[in-house]
Amino acid sequence: MSYIKEKFKVKADELSTEVKDLLKNHGSKVIGDVTIAQAYQGMRGITGLVTETSLLDANEGIRFRGYSIPELRDNLPKAVGGAEPLPEGLFYLMLMGELPTEADVQHLSSVWARRSHVPNHVFDAIEALPITTHPMTMFNVGIMALQTESLFAKAYAEGINKKDYWSYMYEDSMNLIARLPRVAAYIYRRKYKNGQHIQPDGLLDWGSNFAHMLGYDDEGFKELMRLYMTIHADHEGGNVSAHTTHLVGSALSDAYQSFAAGMNGLAGPLHGLANQEVIRWILAMQEELGGGTPTKEQIEKYVRKTLADGKVVPGYGHAVLRKTDPRFTAQMEFAKKHLPEDELVKIVWMVYDVVPGVLTELGKAKNPWPNVDAHSGALLVHYGMVEYEFYTVLFGVSRALGVLASLCWDRALGLSIERPKSVTTEWMKNFVEGKVEASAE
């Protein structure tokens, strides 16, 4: 057993004991009430999930095992000559709950490089789709085709003790993370670069090897990839992609099936697809105005028109956050350092000056501030990745780090199949009239 796996097992046994004690001594303690509005409106504010890897504060933003994004950028190991954290280090932190050493990160880089082989039938499955297929659909087909490699599914079919589920989930998760960049890069090169594929370079770290396979070998893009892969990885457990992965995994679906389910959620425009929508929205605004940099007045007019047309302003608002997303700020800082004169980036910053005021004035959105998706596309365009339909695939590769670390914990803690109670509107009406009672079961 690898030393990381062994260490995870020790930590998992410790936490399992603590959770058992918590359940035995405090299991019936109430942590919240549920209102009728919450049942109809996306369960906002209901605490009903346990996710170890990260925790969100509405005003401060995400913390990964207690570390904010600026703290991660200071404390996680970097590539030689690089300033951004290596995503391998974030995975280690999320899995283990402690910061990695340089050696831990190098170990993970080499383990993932070693496990990155993707069987040919996965590429064949992607090739069977029309070239016009959305990259997120290709991505999901690729992930599902990889499911033939699931060690958990094979072991379960042969019959394993439930105490060992975590071990197979760990192996599947490590293999899937190792393979995703190759699948994603294959999709990109197939769809946008005439199928001229680039072989992996096993000597590179995970993020720069991904950049290399995509066809972007300059150091600036590699740094961006490391930052991008780090900040998109996790956002506690209730967001659509993390919750879906956890939910499907709770039925003992394997890592491939669970992650694919999560990725179908990420592909929705109110979630991960918003990053492509931001660039599409800015380009459409520029086109309508005849190109060039718009004025703030023109941006404001376009925002009001978007809202009047019954559409959302992509990249703004959030289900939980109530301030500017620190992931937006991290990308803004990256841009100020590396590409302060970029025209599209400047437009993103002008939009940031305008949108919160308009959304606040209209008073409907609970959070008028930008989220992670408001900035990411402009950085990618700067380095030449203009194919915005691909952006959510990048998000998905990163999200694998968080949701798969969480799946390892789910199986290590032996979490139950998820099955909350639902009721009908007729039940709600009867409840209001006192004809039925809410049940604790």
Ligand X SMILES: O=C([O-])CC(=O)C(=O)O
Ligand Y SMILES: CC(=O)SCCNC(=O)CCNC(=O)[C@H](O)C(C)(C)COP(=O)(O)OP(=O)(O)OC[C@H]1O[C@@H](n2cnc3c(N)ncnc32)[C@H](O)[C@@H]1OP(=O)(O)O
Site residues for ligand Y per CB under 6 A: 270-272, 274, 307, 312-319, 364-367, 371-373
Q: Sketch the per residue contact string, 357 through 376, with ligand X: x for CB under 6 A, - otherwise.
A: --------------xx----
**Catalytic-residue membership of 218:** no
Distances (CA, A) of 302 to 262, 276, 279, 311: 33, 18, 14, 12
Residue whose CB is less far from ligand Y, 147 or 275: 275
Residue whose CB is less far from ligand X, 55 or 320: 320
Q: Which does 34 bind (CB under 5 to 8 A by kind): ligand Y, ligand X, none?
A: none
Q: Which does 423 bind (CB under 5 to 8 A by kind): ligand Y, ligand X, none?
A: none
Residue nearest to ligand X (CB): 239
Report residue 67: phi and psi, to 5°. Answer: -100, 125
Residue whose CB is less far from ligand Y, 364 or 419: 364
**Catalytic-residue membership of 243:** no
Under the binding rule (CB under 6 A), the answer on residue 54 touching ligand X is no
Residue whose CB is less far from ligand Y, 136 or 146: 136
**Catalytic-residue membership of 373:** yes
Q: Which does 317 bind (CB under 5 to 8 A by kind): ligand Y, ligand X, none?
A: ligand Y
Q: How many residues sit in the footprint of ligand X (CB under 6 A)?
A: 6
Phi-psi region of 54 (alpha: psi -120 to 50; beta: other; left: phi over 0): beta
Can you list the pairs that 335-343 forms with residues at least 24 positions away whose Cβ atoms lie under 8 Å?
A: 335/375, 335/378, 335/379, 335/382, 338/220, 338/223, 338/224, 339/379, 339/382, 342/378, 342/382, 343/293
Q: Sketch the per residue contact string, 179 through 218, with ligand X: x for CB under 6 A, - otherwise.
A: ----------------------------------------
| Min separation Cβ 381 and ligand Y, Å | 18
Q: Are 294 and 347 in contact (CB under 8 A)?
A: yes
Q: Which does 366 bind (CB under 5 to 8 A by kind): ligand Y, ligand X, none?
A: ligand Y
Q: Are 225 and 207 in contact (CB under 8 A)?
A: yes
Choose which of 34, 320, 386, 415 interacts with ligand X (CB under 6 A): 320
Residue whose CB is less far from ligand X, 319 or 335: 319
Under the binding rule (CB under 6 A), the answer on residue 319 touching ligand X is yes
Q: Are 400 and 232 in contact (CB under 8 A)?
A: no
Q: Are 143 and 81 in contact (CB under 8 A)?
A: no
Q: Which does 312 bind (CB under 5 to 8 A by kind): ligand X, ligand Y, none?
A: ligand Y
| Min separation Cβ 272 and ligand X, Å | 7
Measure the CA–CA gap between 99 and 182, rounded to whole angstroms.
Answer: 27
| Min separation Cβ 132 and ligand X, Å | 28
Please identify which of the residues 234, 373, 375, 382 carries the catalytic annotation: 373
Under the binding rule (CB under 6 A), the answer on residue 235 touching ligand X is yes
Residue whose CB is less far from ligand Y, 77 or 314: 314
Instruction: Say how many C-beta atoms besides its own lie within 10 A of residue 393's C-beta.
Output: 28
Residues in the chain: 441
What letter does residue 390 receive in the DSSP assignment? G
Q: Are 8 and 412 in contact (CB under 8 A)?
A: yes
Measure the CA–CA gap between 270 and 433, rounded to whole angstroms.
Answer: 35
The count of C-alpha atoms lying within 13 angstroms of the C-alpha of 116, restricted to the half-sphere facing its C-beta, is 27
**What residue type is 421 in one-letter code?**
K
Measure the CA–CA gap between 220 and 222, rounded to whole angstroms.
Answer: 5
Q: Which does 314 bind (CB under 5 to 8 A by kind): ligand Y, ligand X, none?
A: ligand Y
Q: Are 193 and 186 in contact (CB under 8 A)?
A: no
Report residue 176: phi and psi, to 5°. Answer: -65, -45
Give the residue numbers annotated as catalytic, written as ranges: 271, 318, 373
Binding site for ligand X (CB under 6 A): 235, 239, 319-320, 371-372
